[in-house]
Amino acid sequence: MHVQDYIRTIPNFPHEGIMFRDVTTLFLDPRGFRMAVDQLVQPYAGLRFDKVAGLEARGFILGGAVAHQLSAGFVPIRKAGKLPGKVISQDYELEYGTATVELHDDSIQPGEKILLVDDLLATGGTAEAGITLIEKLGGVVVGCAFIIDLPELGGRKKLEDMGMDVHVLCEFDGA
């Protein structure tokens, strides 16, 4: 089986016309989950990472497992107002408005090598905001890894245009 075989599609969620790609079915299956984590880590074998940054929320599940495999620390990039202590913030565009992600201001040291992880790459706005936060603290984003890419939405191109190495396990057509 392939990673995409474990991913459920839910039509018209959260809105009419959206084909929601649900990775929770992948997470439920021990072999599927292990396969996904192994495939996310594989291109980075032999490289040293200081931290893995996971984007809220499914990026936390993946990021923790990937950090464990890479013997790296884990950094959560959260929605605004969810982290205690001193944070830095970055706004990003949504389809209808803006949102904000935050990072503890002491979670990344200058020069640390970071792998950014999330389940899905759509427009790339959340990932771009996460990269901006990491770079504000002096971190070096060495790669970005995702289970799913929705190529029609242009996120991969956006990140590659920023000079990012982007690794995805599978693609789905449609939003």
Helices (H), the chain: 24-28, 30-41, 58-70, 125-136, 155-161
Burial class, 172, CB count within 10 angstroms (exposed 0-12 / middle 13-18 / buried 19+): middle
Q: What is the pLDDT of residues 44-97, one digit of tens each?
A: 999 999 999 999 999 999 999 999 999 999 999 999 999 999 999 999 998 778
Among the options 8, 34, 78, 95, which is catalytic?
Answer: 95
Secondary structure (DSSP) of 74-117: EEEEEETT-S-S-EEEEEEEETTEEEEEEEETTSS-TT-EEEEE
Could you tell me how many residues make up the chain?
175
Determine which one of 58, 78, 102, 112 is catalytic: 58
In the residue annotation, 93 being an active-site residue is answered as no
Told to judge if 58 belongs to the known catalytic residues of this protein, a careful annotator would answer yes
